[in-house]
Structure 1
């Protein structure tokens, strides 16, 4: 495995994931796992444990969190866990906020990366994907480009592994996205898990789903789908912004403390075992 990341000096193997909905797993529903989602990070943890028994995993990510929340709420707990592997995606929600100071955001982001890299753990960073959702979001494209440039620079500066999500052509297929068009679907999360595992040189058998070419929609079908998307997702999103509330306000981290990932059965097996003991 690349870079000797697999274990600390004591032989400890501990993976801690930080971030927002991207890392929490939104878009990949589960009726068993905490917060009702699974996601790419859970899949990475399970493949790590399968390749090398003894891996522990914590996921502190919560949907809708801004960078300042991740720094205030997730950084110190993560450092206290003494991880040997860290994944971080943060700042995407800030990019979509009106009035965000990008210089201040990227300064804070570098501080966070520096703190995490200072632990000696292997750090994995992600660029942001240029989601073709709507012309409404096109003004934010420049911010995303600036963010991605900074992430690439910091990955080099701090010796982090870069998963350049922006470059993955597979995500041009709408089926890689959830109905809200902002979060990955189950297929999207599985593919990203495979990309992270490949960057870490961890063996796996996850492959890109092979679909038939999408059927061409009529103009009426396209308009109907657009209206449904606006009503179901866009208007509620802007309504929450106006009220100053988020979907993550009532949620806690899915795996707030390191759990030992079963080599067989994965995290679902862990939850089943926990429920059986109650």
Structure 2
């Protein structure tokens, strides 16, 4: 039986921690994380007994690593739908050039485009709401404009995180402030399905109200965050290490999507 709501039967997701689903823990899911791509695959697989899904994304990867390690395996799976989200880890690095990053993105898209699959590209989120990452907002905006031009040249669908205002709410982010939480991933999944023009039953969800807090408590929380998350991240950069070292893709083969329950 074929799902009549969309034309795709084989979906492969490529990228870094955002696509892997970090920040949305689910012990029963492959790799221990769920994420927006799993949610999208679950919807796309509904009503079809021959829909296949693979997720090759690995946390911490730079765009050149994603291109080198994931593109050929993705093409080998012969998908008719691919999502490609990369460049976030590159933009975060001091001195990173958004024009160079987007040029690497275009090289990757050129390779993905050859087989005629539908390709979905992601803009970077508007980080103006975040005191920690507000300083790179301009770099993200430049990267996004270049990416939109790439999408136009290769007839890609754009999943626009920049204009997704809901995720500018800190309550949709995990404690590390780098990754979306379950609510954030759910919100992105809804946006991706909308970009694909696929009807679905995913409903908007509202985060719990922010608890009242004092200035002193907020600063204490900031110091704890820096100790637990920021300092280890900086040390990995200094040591040329990645959180994705020795981590394998959670769904390396295209197969039926099986809900965690």
Same fold at TM > 0.5:
yes
CA contact (8 A) 1:25 1:189 kept: yes
Deviations 1:44-102 (A, max 9, x none): 11111114332100100000000010110001111111110000101110111123343
1:147 aligned residue: 143
Correspondence list, 1:47-86, <5 A: 47-86=43-82
1:6 aligned residue: 7
CA contact (8 A) 1:65 1:93 kept: yes
2:41 aligned residue: 45
CA distance in 1, matches of 2:219, 2:103: 41
CA contact (8 A) 2:172 2:207 kept: no
CA distance in 2, matches of 1:188, 1:136: 18
CA distance in 2, matches of 1:119, 1:147: 25
CA distance in 2, matches of 1:56, 1:226: 42
CA contact (8 A) 2:129 2:168 kept: no
1:173 and 2:169 matched: yes
CA distance in 2, matches of 1:70, 1:133: 28
Structure 1 residues 135 and 188 mapped into 2: Cα distance closer, same or farther (>3 Å)?
closer
CA distance in 1, matches of 2:63, 2:229: 23
CA contact (8 A) 2:98 2:140 kept: no
1:87 aligned residue: 83
1:182 and 2:178 matched: yes
Structure 1 residues 210 and 140 mapped into 2: Cα distance closer, same or farther (>3 Å)?
closer
**Which has the larger displacement, 110-119 or 96-105?**
96-105
CA distance in 1, matches of 2:57, 2:155: 23
Structure 1 residues 229 and 132 mapped into 2: Cα distance closer, same or farther (>3 Å)?
farther
1:234 and 2:230 matched: yes
CA distance in 2, matches of 1:189, 1:138: 21
CA distance in 1, matches of 2:45, 2:177: 31
1:161 aligned residue: 157
1:275 aligned residue: none
CA distance in 2, matches of 1:24, 1:212: 25
CA contact (8 A) 1:95 1:143 kept: yes
Structure 1 residues 65 and 225 mapped into 2: Cα distance closer, same or farther (>3 Å)?
same
**1:268 partner SS:** coil
Unaligned runs of 5+ residues in structure 1 are: 8-12, 270-278
Q: Match for 1:34 among 30, 35, 48? A: 30
Unaligned runs of 5+ residues in structure 2 are: none
State the aligned residue count: 257
TM-score scaled to structure 1, two decimals? Answer: 0.87
What is the CA distance between 1:141 and its match in structure 2? 2.0
CA distance in 1, matches of 2:215, 2:253: 50
CA distance in 2, matches of 1:202, 1:51: 13
Q: What RMSD over aligned residues (CA atoms) do the two structures have, in Å? A: 1.8
CA distance in 1, matches of 2:57, 2:197: 24
What is the CA distance between 1:5 and its match in structure 2? 6.4
What is the CA distance between 1:107 and its match in structure 2? 1.4
CA distance in 2, matches of 1:199, 1:99: 32
CA distance in 1, matches of 2:40, 2:143: 25
